């Protein structure tokens, strides 16, 4: 930083911004490591993606500034600036690869939630930065960021699908709960009606039993009266049999007056 300040204040300022963003990225990935919830991880990864884009923009500005001042510096200074730029690109690519790894892990978790774990999954081997030119490093970093953005978009879609499934499940559970509540209320009503009907049947049974007793008693009384009437008619002179109230006594033997004459 002090060495760049002696060369160019603009380069030193850009380098300072890049260093601040790299520190923010380091702290952000450390924080991401501690987050367990997939939704929060996705949001944190989106914030880190913005930081990576800002770093890429600053590195491009740094490269543009170096090329503008290239003729003003000696060979050693240009070599130092190119090494500085390549170091920045390598560090940026390391964070891009780390972001891609977290995005892939989040996506795999989402996929496992719906389809189960993937078999035979292998990660792609990265290119060695030491064997690549600055332009190749930048292009490689851009491709990695694009792939990571696509993975994040797929993760967002899976999250939205999860939310939709959860909403539909909650609505179905609510409807089933209401249906169960109605069934319970109907069962209570049926139980109350059965108790009431059982009580009414018992009451009717007692009433029928009482009516049968009365009818049997009346039947016995009628049979007794009929028996007395029959005996009275058969043995009218039997004094042991009392007259039935309301029943006329048997007719006595009458003699005609003309028979005495």
- pLDDT tens digits, 26-65: 888 888 888 877 778 888 888 888 888 888 888 888 888 8
Six-digit token string for 35: 């987050």
pTM metric for this prediction = 0.42
Ramachandran sector of residue 246 (left: φ over 0; alpha: ψ -120 to 50; beta: rest): left
Range of the domain at 200: 190-240
Number of domains the chain contains: 2
Q: Do the domain assignments include residue 246?
A: no
Question: What's the pLDDT band for 118 if we cut at 50, 70, 90?
Answer: very low
If asked whether residues 105 and 201 sit together in one domain, one would say no
Check whether 187 has a pLDDT greater than 70. yes
Question: What's the pLDDT band for 261 if we cut at 50, 70, 90?
Answer: very low
State the average pLDDT for the chain. 76
What CA–CA distance (Å, rounded) separates 1 from 232? 148
Higher pLDDT pick, 72 / 110: 72
Check whether 130 has a pLDDT greater than 50. no
Q: Do the domain assignments include residue 20?
A: yes
Q: Do the domain assignments include residue 51?
A: yes
Check whether 126 has a pLDDT greater than 50. no
Q: Do the domain assignments include residue 120?
A: no
What CA–CA distance (Å, rounded) separates 261 from 91? 168
Place of tokens 């601040």: 20
47 burial type by CB count under 10 A (0-12 exposed, 13-18 middle, 19+ buried) = middle
Q: Do the domain assignments include residue 184?
A: no
Check whether 112 has a pLDDT greater than 60. no
Q: Do the domain assignments include residue 144?
A: no
User: Phi/psi at 212 (nearest 5 deg)?
Assistant: -65, -40
| Percent with pLDDT over 70 in the chain | 75
Q: Can you tell me the mean pLDDT for 92-105? A: 85
Q: Do the domain assignments include residue 136?
A: no
Cα–Cα distances (Å) from 125 to 5, 96, 134, 140, 150, in that order, read 38, 14, 19, 13, 19
CA pseudo-torsion sign 164, 169, 172, 174: negative
Higher pLDDT pick, 156 / 93: 93
If asked whether residues 201 and 102 sit together in one domain, one would say no
Q: Do the domain assignments include residue 149?
A: no
Boundary residue ending a domain (111, 144, 170): 111
The CATH number of residue 54's host domain is 1.20.58
What CA–CA distance (Å, rounded) separates 45 from 109? 15
Six-digit token string for 37: 């919830």
């Amino acid at each position: 930083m002090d060495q760049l300040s002696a060369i160019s204040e603009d380069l030193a300022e850009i380098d300072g911004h890049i260093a601040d963003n790299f520190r923010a990225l380091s702290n952000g990935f450390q924080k991401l490591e501690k987050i367990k919830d997939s939704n929060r991880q996705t949001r944190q990864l989106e914030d880190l993606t913005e930081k990576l884009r800002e770093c890429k923009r600053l590195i491009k500005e740094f490269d543009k500034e170096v090329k503008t001042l290239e003729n003003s510096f000696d060979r050693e200074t240009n070599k130092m600036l190119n090494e500085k730029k390549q170091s920045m690109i390598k560090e940026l690519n390391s964070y891009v690869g780390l972001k891609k790894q977290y995005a892939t892990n989040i996506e795999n978790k989402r996929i496992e939630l719906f389809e189960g774990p993937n078999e035979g999954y292998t990660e792609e081997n990265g290119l060695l930065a030491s064997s690549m030119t600055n332009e190749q490093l930048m292009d490689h970093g851009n491709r990695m960021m694009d792939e990571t953005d696509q993975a994040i978009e797929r993760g967002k879609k899976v999250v939205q699908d999860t939310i939709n499934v959860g909403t539909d499940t909650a609505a179905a559970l609510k409807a089933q709960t209401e249906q169960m509540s109605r069934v319970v209320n109907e069962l209570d009503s049926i139980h109350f009606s059965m108790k009431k009907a059982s009580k009414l049947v018992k009451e009717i049974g007692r009433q029928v039993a009482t009516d049968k007793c009365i009818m049997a008693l009346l039947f016995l009384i009628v049979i007794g009266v009929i028996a007395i009437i029959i005996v009275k008619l058969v043995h009218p002179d039997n004094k042991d049999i009392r007259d039935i109230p309301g029943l006329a006594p048997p007719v006595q033997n009458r003699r005609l007056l003309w028979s005495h004459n």
